[in-house]
Amino acid sequence: MRVLMLSLLGLVVSTTGGAATLPKLNLEPSYTVSGISSGAYMASQYHLAHADEVNGVGLIAGGPYGCAEGNLGKALSRCVGKVDDSLIVDALLRQAKARSTAGQLAAVANWATAKIWLFHGSVDKTVAREVTDAALAFYRGIVPTSNLRYVTDVAAAHGFPTLRTGAACDTATSPFLNACNYDAAGAMLQFLLGPLNPPRAEYAGGVLVFDQASYAPDGDLSLAEKGYLYVPAGCAKGERCRLHIAFHGCQQNAETIGERFVREAGYNAWAEANQLVILYPQTTASMLPLNPKACWDWWGYTDADYDTRNGNQIATVANMVAAMRR
C-alpha cells in the first residue's frame, strides 16, 4: 500500500524480492545528519567522512569522534558513563586530521562549514556530561563558535526528548523516547537548517520500508535487512527537497521497538512542513560480530575502518544517499 500510494503521487518505486528499493528524488546536494547515543557517535563519524556533503550534525548523548580508538575497553572506560585521564581531545583531533590527510576522511577544510547541535540531558546517568563536553571540545577545534549550540538544561534521562511521546522524561527505558515537553528534533532541525515552517501532521503514506541490505558493500555486519524513509508528499511529486539522516540508538532499532523511533521521535512532522526527506538506517542485534544491543559501530566491532569512509556501515549509508539522487 505504501509503495502504491507513493507511485500514485508520481514517485517511481521498484521492488526487489518484495522489498522496495530507494526512490529517485530531487535532493539538494548537501544534507544533515543526527543521532542519539551510539547513533550520535555514528553521526559524527559520518560527518567527518562525508563533510564535503554534510553541513549539519545533531548529537544527543554522544562523545567525540575516535573516542574508543577501536577498543571496547576504552569505549567503556572513558566514552559512556565516565571519562578518564586517557581521553585527550587534542590527541583525537590530531588523529582525525591525520586520517583526513590519508584520504580516510573528508578534507579538514570541509569540516569547518557545518553547524553542530549537541544535547545532554541533565539527569542522564548512562552517558556522562563529561563525555558530551568532550564532543563539544572536539568540535570547538573544528568549527566557529557561532556554529555550535549545546543544550544541557532539560531534565532528561538517557533517551530522545519529545513533546509528549515515550516514558517519563527522567526515566531511561525502552523505547528510549522521553516525554519531556521538549521537541529535540525540532530544536535541532531549526538550528541546523535555519527558520522552518511549523510542523504539521505527517503524510499517511510517507514512510517507505526499503531493502537496506542491497546497499551494503560487504554483506550484513549488524545491519538490518530493511530500512525506513520518510518522503513528504511534495517530495514524492518531484519537488526540490533536503535530506536528513537520523541514526537511532542502541536497542532503538525497528526489530526491537517497531517503528516507534521512525514515527514518534518528531522528525516527520517537521519534514512534511519543510520539504525534508528523512532517512532512517537500521542496525540489527548480532553475536557475530558481537553487537547484542544493535548499536551502531563506534568502537570497531565490524572492522578497523569502522569510523572512516571505508567502514562498512558508513559506506552502506553513503550508498543509500547516492541511490536516491537523480
By annotation, the residues acting in catalysis are 37, 124, 158
What local confidence, expressed as pLDDT, does residue 8 receive? 39
Q: Exposed, middle or buried, 84 (CB in 10 Å: 0-12/13-18/19+)?
A: exposed
| pLDDT, tens digit, 9 for 90 and up, residues 14-35 | 454 456 899 999 999 999 999 9
Residue 4 pLDDT exceeds 70: no
- Overall average pLDDT of the 98-118 stretch: 97
Q: What is the mean pLDDT of residues 98-119?
A: 97
Q: DSSP states of 10-53 as a string?
A: T----EETTEEPPPPB-B-S-EEEEEETHHHHHHHHHHHHSTTT
**Beta pairing class for 160-162 and 167-168:** unpaired
DSSP characters for 278-301? EEE--B--BTTTTBTT----SSSS
Q: Which pTM does this prediction carry?
A: 0.94
- Residue 202 confidence (pLDDT): 87
